[in-house]
Amino acid sequence: MLLKIVQVGAEVLRQPARPLSREEILGEETPRLIEFMRETMHEAPGVGLAAPQVGLPLQLAVIEDLAEYHRLVPPERLAERERTPVPFQVLINPKIVFRDSVTAEFFEGCLSLEGFSAVVPRSRSVRVECLDEHAAPQMIEASGWYARILQHEIDHLEGRLYIDRMHSRTFTNLDNFSRFWKEASPTEIRAKLG
């Protein structure tokens, strides 16, 4: 079942989400919600989806960066972004316990800000503690685009959107992103912005 993705302006996107209990994680509703969120993320298509984006203030997110999404991206862009496929993962009650002081700046979009993009600085690597869909503790160490996806989704669970972190002068609609920015490297973007 596909879920409705709420758009910027919805109150649920600006509230911290509540943690899930072990009983909730192992109950009947959460596995069903996880599957619906996965289907919705794929249909969008996107690489991550947090429960607040489907109107539920819960600390639950799903991520997956499918290899098929990489086919249309030039290899040099994938390398520059340190982007490789990420298998399906469920993050419940996640906390970032380490953020690299080294940052990377790339254009980022969001399913809840449909049609827009902006350059967002993010830590190049992170360590995340969370529970999986079986309520088992997990420690995730990620770098590159994987780390960016994790930070983006965890921001949703804290009531933040990428527009809170973006370089505002880079905010653009997707048509203009394709016309002016899509092929630009981070160095070229910095030069264009002065």
Choose among 60, 71, 87: nearest CA to 146: 87
Model confidence over 126-178: pLDDT tens digits? 999 999 999 999 999 999 999 999 999 999 999 999 999 999 999 999 999 99
Is the pLDDT at 82 greater than 70? The verdict is: yes
At residue 47, the 3 state secondary structure works out as coil
Q: How many CB atoms lie within 10 A of CB 182?
A: 12
Is the pLDDT at 193 greater than 90? The verdict is: no
Q: Tell me the C-alpha distance between 119 and 191, whole Å.
A: 13
pLDDT of residue 180: 87
Q: Does domain 11-193 have CATH number 3.90.45.10?
A: yes
Average pLDDT, the chain: 95
**pLDDT band, residue 182 (cuts 50/70/90):** confident
Q: Are 95 and 130 in contact (CB under 8 A)?
A: yes
- Residue 153: active-site member: yes
**pLDDT band, residue 72 (cuts 50/70/90):** confident
Q: Are 112 and 55 in contact (CB under 8 A)?
A: no
User: Taking the model in full, what pTM does it have?
Assistant: 0.95
For tokens 């992170």, the residue is 126
Choose among 175, 156, 76: nearest CA to 111: 156
Domain boundaries, the chain: 11-193
At residue 92, the 3 state secondary structure works out as strand
Report how far apart, in Å, the C-alpha atoms of 114 and of each of 108, 117, 186 are: 11, 9, 23
φ, ψ dihedrals at 100, nearest 5°: -65, 140
Is the pLDDT at 181 greater than 80? The verdict is: yes
Is the pLDDT at 44 greater than 90? The verdict is: yes
One of 68, 80, 153, 158 is an active-site residue; which one? Answer: 153
**pLDDT band, residue 26 (cuts 50/70/90):** very high
- What percent of the chain has a predicted confidence (pLDDT) above 90? 89
